[in-house]
Amino acid sequence: MTYTFLDFLKLIGSLGLFLYGMKIMSEGLQKIAGNRLRSILTAMTKNRVMGVFTGLLITALIQSSSATTVMVVSFVNAGLLSLVQSITVIMGANIGTTVTAWIISLLGFKVSIAAFSLPLMAIAIPFIFSSKSKRKSIGEFIMGFAFLFMGLELLKNSVPDLQANPGILEFLSRYTDLGFGSVLIFLGVGTLLTIVVQSSSATMAITLIMCAKGWISFELGAAMILGENIGTTVTANIAAIPANVSAKRAAFAHLTFNIFGVIWMLFVFFPFTHMVSNIVQNIGPGDPNLLTSFSQSIDPQTLSLISNPNATGLTAEQVALQGQLEKYQLATSYGLSLFHTMFNLINTFLMIWFVKTIAKIVSYIIPKKDTDEEFQLKYISTGMLSTSELSLLQARKEMYVYSERTERMYHLVRELQTQENENEFVKMFSRIQKYENISDRMEVEIAAYLTKVAEGRLSEDGKHQLQNMLRVVSEIESIGDSCYNLARVIMRKRDDKSVYTDEMNDNINLMMNLVEQALQQMKKILKQDQPVSDEDYNRSENLENEINNFRNQLKLQNVNDVKEQKYDYQASVTYMDMIVECEKMGDYIVNVVEALNELDYHY
């Protein structure tokens, strides 16, 4: 039997149809669910068990652990999930991906789903051309399901029949009779194959087909599945390349978790596979280990004939052999699915107790850099609330962290103003944009937390404190907005190629120094767990007055300088925009101090 380049292209095309079907089905489901997938992930990870269950549920629905882990990485990058929460979801995703193996085992080899593919497409067409987006998504899901199993059927028919080529069979036998060495080799094959096709589900399908055709033994198929567990982590790690340090850690945690699992499994590999084959033999269709020896005991022509489910004119003996072959194929596919499921269940059960340890390991391996900035509330949680008094104290501490982050944003703006290198300027501006997004979300989450506290039993004094805290949070967010507005003005000045005089630069620096002093004074007051002293309050008021007076002085001076043509009008526009924005920031800062002054703490 010759296997031509055209046959190879058919194989790749079949694999492509399988992967495309999975992609369409996955995307259709995600569209049907809308933002609910996001809500489920954030709401159902309050503890380890719920996190695992969430990962299992999502992966079982979208039929791709890679898609789930990529989503998890993106949520960690956005600050919606912590590193510890993400690890539990990823553990659940590993269990969820075993559902695909069972679908293929129970349906893919027993029933020809491909026979229903075209009718399913006929059903999907009216949905796809519907004007309503939800119906269109349902149509995409059905179409993806049809493509998935059509691709699987074509994949089965496109792979080369190695049994008919003794030379290739002899070549394979060199690697299948090396004992534990063969296990390691096929573990590597499974890893590489999954990296190439970017889908553990697709590799699982290929493994089941290879075993069903009798190319490799049940044990080597199990070794390939272990490799698939490592290979599937590559997609998330690729997705995490442009993300922040927490997202990189989440992706690497997936790899670490799976490698630990494979290591302990290798120590008990043969007893474990023996146990799985006994279970399938006792309660299933037969012994999964007998498929290889059965295939080798039959001459290639007969095997090729009985392997074709549509073959006609079979003798009674060949019909009996065909039935026996189907039984062994089913036993092997059940065995591999059970091995995959049991391995991931046991691995998750063992590793779930070491989630924090895994988080520490990946945090050590991937340290945080000075330029890394991710969103993470430090003192409060949007989940469980403490007592009202403690809740207010935690919120006060979080507001101080918020002010620190805003001050760092302001320092970045000052660096941006003097940055001359184009690449560094773009990087710095991107960081300021990121700070702005973080600032917006911190305001929302702290405010949401305070709103929950307000729903509890609070004294009149507590309610008064809470209202002022909400005002403080809002004003700090406005400071962040002003920082971003300043950065945009600096960007506009750069785009306009405006040139400032030394006097203009000195005035901007003097104004920014005054604002920085006001920011530091605000932080000092915010850090204190006691009422604002008259001295501190007066200092903030005086700084605000200085800022206002300086702004008024520069406005008048600017009109005269433009008239005297000391600088052009275009330069004056961005110059005054910066001065005015600094004055606005001064207003927001003094508003924070006034709100804090009205608070009456009894901690």
| Residue 169 confidence (pLDDT) | 37
Tell me: do 347 and 438 sit in the same domain: no
Greater pLDDT, 436 or 394: 436
Average the pLDDT over 360-389 and give the result.
65
Domain count, the chain: 2
Residue 132 covered by a domain: yes
DSSP for 107-136, written as a single string: IITTS-THHHHHHHHHHHHHHHT-SSHHHH
358 lies in the same domain as 404: no
Mean pLDDT of all residues in 506-525 = 92
* Tens digit of each residue's pLDDT (9 = 90 or more) over 52-80: 887 888 777 766 666 677 677 767 766 66
Q: Is residue 205 one of the residues assigned to a domain? A: yes
pLDDT, mean of residues 408-433: 89
The pLDDT value recorded for residue 164 is 46
Per-residue pLDDT tens digits for 299-325: 767 766 766 666 677 777 777 877 777
Q: Do both 289 and 424 map to the same domain?
A: no
- Residue 143 and residue 264 in one domain: yes
CATH classification at residue 506: 1.20.58.220
Flag the least confident range among 141-155, 210-224, 308-322: 308-322
Whether 440 and 477 have beta carbons less than 8 Å apart is answered as yes
Q: Are residue 206 and residue 132 in the same domain, yes or no?
A: yes
Q: What is the DSSP string of 134-203?
A: HHHHHHHHHHHHHHHHHHHHHHHHHS--GGG-HHHHHHHHHHHSSTHHHHHHHHHHHHHHHHHHT-HHHH
Residue 446: what pLDDT? 84
pLDDT at 553: 93
pTM confidence score: 0.58
**Is 395 in the same domain as 450?**
yes
Which tens digits make up the pLDDT trace of 377-389?
666 654 444 456 6
> Which helix or strand (DSSP H or E) is residue 549 part of?
helix 534-563
Residue 603 lies in a domain: no
Whether residue 395 sits in one domain with residue 348: no
Q: What is the mean pLDDT of the chain?
A: 79
Note whether residue 557 is domain-resident. yes
Asked if residue 538 and residue 425 are part of one domain, the reply reads yes
258 falls within a domain: yes
Same-domain status, 284 and 402: no
pLDDT surpassing 80 at residue 433: yes
Least confident of 274-283, 448-457, 585-594: 448-457
Which residue would you say has higher pLDDT here, 27 or 88? 88
Give, for 523, the enclosing helix (H) or strand (E). Answer: helix 502-527
Q: Is residue 143 predicted with pLDDT exceeding 60?
A: yes
Identify the domain containing residue 524 by its residue range: 388-598
In the predicted model, is pLDDT for residue 583 greater than 60? yes
Assess contact for 582 and 511: CB atoms under 8 A.
yes
pLDDT at 168: 45
Of 344-358, 451-465, 476-490, 536-550, the one with minimum mean pLDDT is: 451-465
pLDDT computed for residue 163 by the predictor: 42
DSSP character for 353?
G
Q: Answer yes or no: do 400 and 337 share one domain.
A: no
Does one domain contain both 201 and 240? yes
Q: Are residues 450 and 328 in the same domain?
A: no
What are the pLDDT digits (tens) for 76-95?
766 667 778 888 888 888 78
